[in-house]
Amino acid sequence: MSAFTEVLKTSPEYMTLEKAVKDRNLPVGVLGVSGVHKAHLVNSLCGNLDRRALVIMPDEAAATKFCEDLCTFGKNAFLYPARDFSFSSAENRSHEYEQRRINALTNILNGTADVVVCSAEAAVQRTIPPKDLKKHSLTIKRGEDIKLSDITSVLLSSGYTRADMVEGVGQFSVRGGILDLFSPDDQNPVRIEFWGDTVDTMAHFDITSQRRTDNVDKLTLMPSTEIVFSGNDELIKKITEFYDTVKGKGAKKAREMLQNDIDRLKNGVNLSSADKYLPLAYDENATVLSYADSLLLFVCESAGVKEKANAAIKLQNEDIKYLLEEGELCRGLDEFTMSFPELTREYEKKDTVFLDDFARGSFDVPVRDLITFTASTLPSWNGKLDVLLDDLSPLVQKDSAVVVMGGTEKAAKNLAEDLENEDIPALYFPLEPAEFPRGRVSVLPGALSGGFGYPHEKFYTFTYGRNAVASKKRKARSGFKKGQSLHSLDELKRGDYVVHSLHGIGVFDGINKLEVGKITKDYIKIKYAKGDVLYVPVTQLDLVSKYIGPHEDDGRTVKLNKIGGKDWEKTRNKVRAAVKDMADQLIALYSKR
């Protein structure tokens, strides 16, 4: 047990809630809890009852914040993001969101995810069923006999891309008897060396230096995409069988589309619009909720979840209606989300707890009990000691427990010393203790989305603002010339230099809503040399990274690339050649060993 899970052990409201979950007297509704209180309740119930959970939030921003709070509380939490389906052959396709989704689903199956958090939109989207995710995975053990060609066949059929050198998730490369690959559920790529048909060694390696790090005894490869066929032959067969069933209005356009895809596949061309064939890939419809049969299900702000889910379903249906008219889709290839009534039926089947801030009428399904917590929200600390002292002084009493999340380890240590110097009894804990002492301030590293308290339990937590902590970390790293991948649009501001993997260095010029073929989406606007402009769908954020090379601040001019120019390709080729030479040298060295 940890100190945060012990906080509410004597709370009558919490004991009632815990008993309802234990006795499966569910669904149950909980009121009076804000975002960080919700995360604390999920952390407490999962910790005290040894349960895992799926949490549904209204939108992705709230889900991301909730996931970060759970990680701060010590939970192994994963975000299951929403994704854009690619139905048109004209669209470029990024697998980043699929790979993050597969990572979350895999960790549910493996039992390594304490909590998975998703938005309402992600919750209703169809995905690969659990039995098929297991079926298309492959476990490799050091010392076992398995042909390299068999592994590469599995990788290709599971959505991996063959490359000269592994540079990202979902790629693999082969050099002689050495296989490099990057599975979506792994933090780093793995290098496998064969002795004939025997797996001799396996180890993680660093993409930049190509040097091996820790050894691996067993590796499980998960699919790199959510739509998996055993190969192009199976996909051709499925499309051909479906082709014969297409009749009625729009059948001519639909058959032309299907035949074009069949021809592409027969010519060895992979489909960028394979998402449309999700209904043909599996025998059953599945969502992330299909993985949650043994999990607690928390629905946070149920009215917001309903609104966002219905909005996402409506937008998807409008897109599908247009694509049906254009012949890009057809009847039978038009269901990619569950309906909201289907979602509410899942609420009734699962061990569901509704967590709401305020009462807003009834919940989406009848609840067996309604529990109201008395909880307070505390402001984030801005880093000024005098402000914190004013907040702490009236609360530090013999029978109260006060916690301050101080940001970085160094800042938290210094804060504990500063409080002692101001005659505020304080203890620094590098890790969360088993129990928070009463009558003293417990200072921990880390940050939450906000401060929170339970007045009846005389427990209060203040936190240094998470944005301030992230800003300090970025500032401390600014002199280190390392590529900075983007995980959120919040990391960019207008005027920042960015690098697109295909087009090179440009200037970020904000987010624009554009309508393409009657479908409205958000696009990142990037300005290039000679007035060129590139619009990148926000779902392809993985193609864009922050520029970290020589800067005006260093007295050097940043040269923008031109779309379609050869300068960027030359730069990429030079870097690839240099890294390839390094990799070849290391591989030769490993072979001698």
Mean predicted confidence (pLDDT) in 66-70: 96
Please report, rounded to a whole number, the percentage of residues in the chain having pLDDT higher than 90: 51
pLDDT of residue 563: 78
pLDDT of residue 471: 47
pLDDT of residue 473: 46
Lookup: tokens for 83:
């994704």
Of 462, 464, 450, which Cα lies nearest the Cα of 33? 450
- Average of per-residue pLDDT values in the chain: 86
Count the Cβ atoms, other than its own, within 10 Å of residue 191.
26
3-class secondary structure for 133-187?
Answer: HHHCCEEEECCCECCHHHHHHHHHHCCCEECCCCCCCCEEEEECCEEEECCCCCC
Of 475, 487, 481, which Cα lies nearest the Cα of 408? 475
Asked if pLDDT for residue 25 goes beyond 90, the answer is: yes
Per-residue pLDDT tens digits for 556-572: 677 888 877 767 766 76
pLDDT of residue 475: 42
Lookup: tokens for 169:
């998730």
481 — pLDDT class (breaks 50, 70, 90): very low
Per-residue pLDDT tens digits for 459-477: 999 998 765 555 444 443 3
For residues 153 and 531, the model is more confident at: 153
The Cα 143–Cα 202 span in angstroms is 10
Specify the pTM: 0.79
Count the Cβ atoms, other than its own, within 10 Å of residue 414.
16
pLDDT of residue 478: 34
Q: How many CA atoms lie within 13 A of 202 on its CB side?
A: 18
Query: Nearest 5°: CA angle at 234, between 231 and 239?
Result: 125
pLDDT of residue 482: 38
pLDDT of residue 158: 83
Asked if pLDDT for residue 580 goes beyond 90, the answer is: no
For CA atoms 450, 454, 460, 461, give the dihedral sign: negative
Instruction: Collect all residues with Cβ–Cβ distance below 8 Å to 258 and sequence separation of at least 6.
Output: 239, 242, 243, 246, 330
Beta partners for residue 141, in sequence order: 218
Q: How many CA atoms lie within 13 A of 168 on its CB side?
A: 12
137 — pLDDT class (breaks 50, 70, 90): confident
DSSP state, 570? H
Asked if pLDDT for residue 143 goes beyond 80, the answer is: yes
pLDDT of residue 172: 92
Asked if pLDDT for residue 94 goes beyond 70, the answer is: no
Per-residue pLDDT tens digits for 219-254: 888 888 899 888 788 899 999 999 988 887 778 888
Amino acid code (one letter) for 211: R
Mean predicted confidence (pLDDT) in 157-179: 88
- Distance of CA 328 to CAs 192, 323, 398, Å? 41, 5, 69
Lookup: tokens for 383:
């880093």
Instruction: Collect all residues with Cβ–Cβ distance below 8 Å to 165 and sequence separation of at least 6.
Output: 173, 180, 576, 579, 580, 583
Asked if pLDDT for residue 389 goes beyond 60, the answer is: yes
Domains delineated in the chain: 3-131+286-372 (3.40.50.300), 401-469 (no CATH), 479-562 (2.40.10.170)
* Residue given tokens 């209904």 in the structure block: 279
Asked if pLDDT for residue 408 goes beyond 60, the answer is: yes
pLDDT of residue 439: 92
583 — pLDDT class (breaks 50, 70, 90): low
| CA 232 to mean position of chain CA atoms | 29
Asked if pLDDT for residue 496 goes beyond 80, the answer is: yes
Mean predicted confidence (pLDDT) in 419-432: 93
Q: Which of 129-133, 280-284, 359-363, 528-532 has the lowest mean pLDDT?
A: 528-532
Mean predicted confidence (pLDDT) in 261-287: 88
Per-residue pLDDT tens digits for 297-343: 999 999 999 999 999 999 888 888 888 888 888 889 999 999 999 99
**Are 115 and 55 within 8 A, CB to CB?**
yes
